[in-house]
Amino acid sequence: MRVAYQGEPGAFSEGAVLALFPDAEAQPCRTVRLVFSRVTSGEADMGVVPLENSQAGSVNETYDLLWHSTLVRMVGEVVVPVDHALLGLPGARLEEIKRVYSHPQALAQAEEFLSSLGVEVVPVHDTAGAARMVAEAGEPDQAAVASVRAGSLQGLAVLAERIQTYPDNFTKFAVIGDVDPGLGRPNKTSLVFAVHDRPGSLVGALQAFADRGINLTKLESRPRRGAPFEYLFYVDLQAAGDDTDVAGALEEVREHTSMLKVLGTYPAWRERDE
């Protein structure tokens, strides 16, 4: 199986691929959009993309691509513990670091530690890519925030470990594709909708799930591009899409929405792993 992921070898995304598909041919991609493109074109059988971090929140680009895609959907998820390290050249000293590179999400997750150093932070496309950049530059005052494994692959030294602000740091990755990868029985559904501009529309949409005892584990609003001051609502349900109660709820939700799309129905990682 060919599985595309955003990042370079040593990235947390690659770890997510290996956690689900240990025998897969992992295909590194520079961007999340390229992962979607490879799955859509058939160059990859599946894709693994970052969806949400327990500290920094949702990855908006992934949700936007899921909303607009007509050929792929969410078919699985995996939650990966994320421990960030500050990596520098062998012999580099922590107090001499002036510039730190990493993915914007990683920089946000380690903001408190980096602020205490008083360094310049520079966002780049990937944590493992940041480690490679530091290794190639060969400047002792530059460092990267990435995994210890990424540092090992690039011959970098660990200047500090577990530098994220909150020790319990996890990233949820979505598996995208157009076929069932055989990860288990679906018991979770993700969707997006926009409600009509009239009183009670949002309450009515959510009440449809409450009346049927369907638990919502995520409800997040985001601006709707191209429609100023209108919003999309992203929702996760603890139920499979083919459940009769879910089907009934979605029919009722459509009465209160101007747009509704199921992003995928799939096995929840934690529930499947217990």
Active site residue 173: yes
Active site residue 171: yes
Catalytic residue among 12, 36, 113, 173: 173
Strand pairing report for 99-102 and 85-88: unpaired
The secondary structure element, H or E, covering residue 209 is helix 201-210
Beta bridge partners of 174: 49, 77
Which contacts of 22-25 are long-range, i.e. CB under 8 A and separated by 24 or more positions? 25/1
DSSP 241: T
Catalytic residue among 127, 171, 189, 265: 171
The secondary structure element, H or E, covering residue 51 is strand 46-53
Rounded to an integer, what distance in angstroms lies between the CA atom of residue 93 and that of residue 115? Answer: 17
Residues whose CB falls within 8 Å of the CB of residue 130, separated by 6 or more in sequence, listed in order: 101, 102, 103, 124, 144, 145, 146
User: Which residues are marked as active site?
Assistant: 171, 173
